[in-house]
A and B are shown apart, each in its own frame.
Chain A
Amino acid sequence: MDSKASDRYVPAAARSVKILVLGPFAVGKTTYVRSVSEIRPMRTEERMTRAGELIDDLGDLREKTTTTVAMDFGRLTLAGDIVLYLFGAPGQPRFRGMVRSLMEGALGGLVLADTRRLDQSFEAIDLLEDARLPYTVAINTFDGAPAYGDAELRDALTLDPGTPLVLLDARDRASSVQGLVTLVSHILARPDLEPV
């Protein structure tokens, strides 16, 4: 959360990894990124065509048929010169094209869900499965939201037995980091990664 110049940069020998935080409107994506990030979360502005495709060409940028979307991200420097970037991806279906492009080069995704509207997380789950990215579903526990057992939640979300499901509080750092621990453990369990 410091903004001193010396804290602005990452270690010179750093390697980066990218993880996406997905889920519907107001499920806690920005809150989550803020909890985990070591820097004040930042935003970049992206422009899309009305059809939802991300624009990565200067020529197209001048056209009037574009809309803008803000994307927030945070950073977490880990031991061993590893820098983890967390991107909060917008959940609305019209931003699908942008989310697809954001998924390129990502290690995996954390899907936030609210027990009052679990079905609204299907969009994010489908996008991750289409991209064949490993993911973990995290129930963000809101006050007053109904609590269900693991089996009920998995059933409602139609999760594969191998897909991790965790409960967390996006406002709490330790709890939020646990979601990442679960996700990376899951990625490490991939069958095609050679054991050492």
Chain B
Amino acid sequence: MTRRSHRRRGMVRSYTATGGRAIPSRATLDEATLLKADPKLPMAGLNAQSHRVMDLCRAGVLSVAEVAAHLQMPGAVTKVIVSALVDSGHLVAVAPFVPAAQKHDREFLKKVLRGLQSI
């Protein structure tokens, strides 16, 4: 195993700012994306797997990874079903937070830090 000799000092990731928005595409569905069900939309017409996802999500908020684990479905299958439900408005997807170079992001990270320190 080789370790690269050159160092990448001071380089920072160019973050995308999708946080907090609904993201109606499975290309951007993350394992840590949170899913919130819209209880007003009818379940009629949904296939069995979508039904199971909605039954689970209507009772509370969970991540994509948790939906996959609870329903014992592969991650990729879960993402396909979930993204269709996001497109139809049955689910709202909230992507995990990644910091951009903004003040409120710094505030959010400080909240994460304080939360960890108080454990």
Contact = CB atoms under 8 A, between A and B. Distances in A.
Interface of A: 5, 8-12, 14-18, 42-47, 54-58, 61, 68, 71, 73, 75-76, 78-80, 82-85, 87, 102, 104-107, 119-120, 122-123, 125-126, 129, 131-134, 158, 160, 162, 173-174, 177, 180-181, 184-185, 187-188, 190-196
Interface string B89-107: 0000011111101110111
Given A79-B114, A193-B106, 12 more contacts: A10-B34, A16-B97, A44-B74, A55-B76, A82-B115, A102-B31, A119-B3, A129-B8, A174-B119, A190-B99, A194-B106, A195-B103
A187 to B, nearest CB: 6
Contacts of B4: 126, 129
Interface residues of B, number: 64
A45 to B, nearest CB: 5
23 contacts: A10-B34, A14-B61, A16-B97, A18-B96, A44-B69, A44-B74, A45-B68, A46-B74, A79-B111, A82-B112, A83-B34, A84-B116, A105-B30, A107-B112, A132-B12, A160-B9, A184-B113, A185-B113, A188-B113, A193-B102, A194-B103, A195-B103, A196-B103
B31 A12 contact: no
B75 interface: yes
A10 B105 CA distance: 21
Contact of B115 (A78, A106, A196): A78
Nearest to B117: A181
A79 B113 CA distance: 10
Nearest to B107: A196
Nearest to A11: B61
A78 B116 contact: yes
Contacts of B98: 105-107
Given A44-B74, A132-B12, A122 B1 contact: yes
Contact of A193 (B26, B61, B105, B116): B105
A107 B112 CA distance: 11
A102 B64 CA distance: 13
A127 to B, nearest CB: 11
B60 interface: yes
Contacts of B59: 5, 8-9
Nearest to B4: A126
B77 A61 contact: yes
For the complex of A and B, 10 pairs with smallest distance between CB atoms: A9-B60, A78-B115, A42-B69, A18-B32, A132-B13, A105-B30, A85-B32, A44-B68, A122-B3, A192-B101
Contacts of B75: 44-46, 71
Contact of A158 (B3, B79, B108): B3
B116 A180 contact: yes
B109 interface: yes
